[in-house]
Each structure stands twice: as structure tokens, then as C-alpha cells.
Structure 1
Amino acid sequence: MLLEFIAILAAGFGLAGIALALNIALRKRLPQWIVPAAAGAGMLLMAIWLEYSWFERTTGTFPEGVEVVSSNQVRSWYRPWTYVVPLTNRLIAIDSRFNRRHADRPGQVLTRVILAGRWEPTRQFGAVYDCIGHRRADLLDQVELREDGSLGNATWVQLSADDAALRIACGR
């Protein structure tokens, strides 16, 4: 966040400097408001670019084996440009690098789910996907992983057969 603030200030100073140099080169024929207007435009444009590039910058750092299964797009009145191009502010990804299967339960896979949001800390948790029954159980504090591979105290969530997270976790 601090680095983005510094980048926004640098963009403002940079565009103001360009406007000032242009005004000097034109022997001060431009209106006096051009330098502060250029600073404001530079800061606003940098802030918009940082907001819209967040998704690509975040997913670009994911290693191979991490796939985005869902993203959230928003529109808001105080950002009128989001009505033209919605802003992506959250994502859900599956980290298949840590997939595990139990010999007694080959239709189930234990994987890692990643939740990331703009201006939010990234969260990770384990989840078991039942590839045959099309359901998911999140591994929370009360869930027990038994020796036979079954889950105790798990709450299963029914999923559709074409759910993106289910397809990626199960390797389809």
C-alpha cells in the first residue's frame, strides 16, 4: 500500500514536471492551472491503473499449479468508470501442487484453496473435494481426518458437476 502511494505521488510529480517543461518550452503560453491539473490527472490515472492491474499482477506471481477458479467484479458509484469496465477485486484459486489422495478414498482429493482480495490479506485453507459426489468440505478446526481417509465433523457443500474449483481440484 505504501509503495502504491509512492507510485501515485511519483506519477503526479512526473506529469506535472512534463506540463511545466512544456509550458517553459512554449514561453509560458499555457494557462496557469495546467501544472496542478496535470499532477491531479497523473495521480488519478495511476490510481486507476493500479486498481485495474491488481488482478493480473497478483495472478502473475502465482507459481505453476495454481489456477484461478473464480473472481469478483464490482461497480460503484464513486468510480463511474467501473460501469464501463467492471473492477476485479477478489479471487479464489486452487493450488493443485499440494493435492493428496487417500488410498481408501480415491474419489476424494485434499487440496489448498487460496482467497485473495484487493487491500486484504491472502488466506489459505485446506479443502477436500469429492470428485464422485460433487461436493466440498472445508477443513476447519472441528474437522477430523480419520485414518481411513474419511472426515469427521465435516460440513459438505453440494456443488454442480461443472463447478470450476471441482474440475481443477479433481484434475478434469
Structure 2
Amino acid sequence: MLWELVATVFAGLGAAGIALMLRKLSAQKLPRYLVPVFAGLGMLGFQIHSEYNWYSHQLSLLPQGVVVVKAVEEKISWRPWTFLKPQITRFMALDVKNSAANSKNPELVLANLYLFERRQAAINVKLVVHCPSKQRANFTEQLVLPAEGEMPGAEFMAIAADEDALLQVCTTQKNV
């Protein structure tokens, strides 16, 4: 975040420098207020650019085998440009490549789910997917894993229709 602040300041300084050059080329006939206007527009433009490029940049950093499960687009009132094109502010990614089936119950698959949000550190959630019932639960020490052929308990919740990508771990699993 510090580097983003530094880059924003430099974008403003660069835009102000362009305005100063334009004033000099016009023999100071352009108004003085053009310099801070250009600086503000430069900083705002840089921020908008970085907001919309954040998602694609994060995707480029994901290793092979990690797939996006869900991306959340938002329209934010204090960012009126998001009403024209909603901005992706957070997303969930699943490590399909390194998922593993439980050795005692192959219907259960353990996988890492990563939660990304703009200007926040990524969060890693250990996830257990019960493939036959299409249910999931966060893996904790208190989680009671069902035996093979049993239905999972109340800790498990149904996988939402917009999170169907979670079921990819059911087809690409290794035994652990």
C-alpha cells in the first residue's frame, strides 16, 4: 500500500509537470489552476487504473492449478465510475492441483481456498468437500468427518450454485 501511495504521488507530479510544460509552451496564457487540476486528475486516473487492474494482476500471480471460484463485482457510491463498469474487489481461488482425498474416506477432499481482497493480505482457508452430497466445511480440529457412505453433519453446508467450481476438486484428487 505504501508503494501505491508513492506511485499515486508521482502520477500527480507527472501530470502537474505536463500542465507546467503546457503553460510554458503557451507563454503562460493558460490559467495557473491547470497545474493542480492536472495533478488531481493524474492521481485519480492512476487510482482508477490500479483499481481495475488489481484483479487481472492477482490472477497473473496465481500458480498453475489454482482456479477462481467466485469473483465479486461491486458498484460503490463514492466511486461513481463503478456504476459504468463494476469493479472486482474480492475473489475466491481454489488450489485444485494440490487437493487430496482423505485416505479413510475418499468421498472427502481436502483443499486450500484462498480469499483475496483489494488492499488486504490473502487468507488461506482449509476446506473439506464432501463430493457425493456437494457440501463443504471449513477444516478445523472440531470438525467431525463422516465415515464412508455416511452423510456429513451439521457443520457442512451446501455448495452454492455460483461456487460450483469447488467441485473441481472432486475430479482431480489424490489420496493422502
* Alignment TM-score, normalising by the size of structure 2: 0.86
CA shift for structure 1 position 160: 5.2
Residues 1:170 and 2:152 aligned together: no
Q: Which residue of 2 aligns with 1:88?
A: 88
Higher relative contact order (CA 8 A, sep 6+): 2
Amino acid corresponding to residue 2 of structure 1 in structure 2: L
CA shift for structure 1 position 162: 7.6
Amino acid corresponding to residue 15 of structure 2 in structure 1: L
**Contact 2:128–2:136 (CA under 8 A) maintained in structure 1:** yes
CA shift for structure 1 position 169: 2.0
Distance 1:161 1:12, change over 3 A: closer
Q: Trace 1:18-33 onto structure 2 (pairs within 5 A).
A: 18-33=18-33
Q: Which residue of 2 aligns with 1:133?
A: 133
Distance 1:102 1:94, change over 3 A: same
CA shift for structure 1 position 145: 5.9
Q: Which residue of 2 aligns with 1:7?
A: 7
Q: Which residue of 2 aligns with 1:75?
A: 75
CA shift for structure 1 position 166: 2.7
Distance 1:75 1:163, change over 3 A: closer
How far, CA to CA, are the matches of 1:163 and 1:28 in structure 2?
Answer: 59
Q: Which residue of 2 aligns with 1:50?
A: 50
Number of aligned residue pairs: give it. 171
Higher strand share: 1
How far, CA to CA, are the matches of 2:144 and 2:67 in structure 1?
Answer: 27
**Contact 1:135–1:158 (CA under 8 A) maintained in structure 2:** yes
Larger displacement relative to structure 2 (162-171 or 30-39): 162-171
Distance 1:27 1:162, change over 3 A: closer
Amino acid corresponding to residue 67 of structure 2 in structure 1: E
Amino acid corresponding to residue 16 of structure 1 in structure 2: A
Amino acid corresponding to residue 134 of structure 1 in structure 2: K
How far, CA to CA, are the matches of 1:41 and 1:162 in structure 2?
Answer: 38
Query: Secondary structure at the residue paired with 1:67?
Result: strand
Percent of aligned pairs with the same amino acid = 33
Structure 2 runs not aligned, ≥5 long: none
**Contact 1:126–1:139 (CA under 8 A) maintained in structure 2:** yes
Kindly report the root-mean-square deviation, in angstroms, between the aligned alpha carbons of the 2 structures: 2.5
**Contact 2:110–2:126 (CA under 8 A) maintained in structure 1:** yes
**Contact 1:143–1:153 (CA under 8 A) maintained in structure 2:** no
Larger displacement relative to structure 2 (153-162 or 5-14): 153-162
How far, CA to CA, are the matches of 1:146 and 1:69 in structure 2?
Answer: 25
How far, CA to CA, are the matches of 1:169 and 1:21 in structure 2?
Answer: 57
CA shift for structure 1 position 4: 0.5
